[in-house]
Amino acid sequence: EVQLVESGGGLVQPGGSLGLSCAASGFIFSNYWMSWIRQAPGKGLEWVANINQDGGARSYVDSVKGRFSISRDNAKNSLYLHLNSLRAEDTAVYYCTTNTGDSWGQGTMVTVSS
């Protein structure tokens, strides 16, 4: 059974940093592009970033370029998202997904507030 389990969310002040992790199991992690998608409270889905199988290709939505960094460790079957210079508008549930969209984690909440 495919499982994606996010962790690392929490409350952070504006301008602060946070690191999210996603532990994958039940499939050959190193064969898949992976994505982070977020959803602000009461709002729609927003694609944030993705990364290819070996980490050599990464893409970001314009609003997070230069502030967020996606990475992965295939030996640990793990996906990461490092969030810097956080703003109130980054407050959201962050989901880890396969790029195919057929598997999602339960999400981890990031709240940016003073």
Partner 1 sequence: QSALTQPASVSGSPGQSITISCTGTSSDVGFYNYVSWYQQHPAKAPKLMIYGVIDRPSGVSNRFSGSKSGNTASLTISGLQPEDEADYYCCSFTTSNTYVFGTGTKVTVL
Which positions touch partner 1 (CB under 8 A)?
A: 35, 37, 44-47, 50, 59-62, 95, 100-102, 104-107
Contacts 24+ apart (CB under 8 A), 53-59: 54/30
> Using CB atoms within 10 A of its CB, is residue 10 exposed (0-12), middle (13-18) or buried (19+)?
exposed
Query: Least CB distance from residue 79 to partner 1, whole Å?
Result: 15
Q: Rounded distance, CA 18 to CA 20, Å? A: 7
Q: Which is nearer to partner 1, 45 or 88 (CB)?
A: 45
Contact indicator for 33, 18 with CB cutoff of 8 Å: no
Q: Which is nearer to partner 1, 60 or 80 (CB)?
A: 60
Q: Which is nearer to partner 1, 19 or 107 (CB)?
A: 107
Query: Least CB distance from residue 29 to partner 1, whole Å?
Result: 18
**Tokens 């030996």 correspond to what residue?**
75
Query: Least CB distance from residue 72 to partner 1, whole Å?
Result: 17
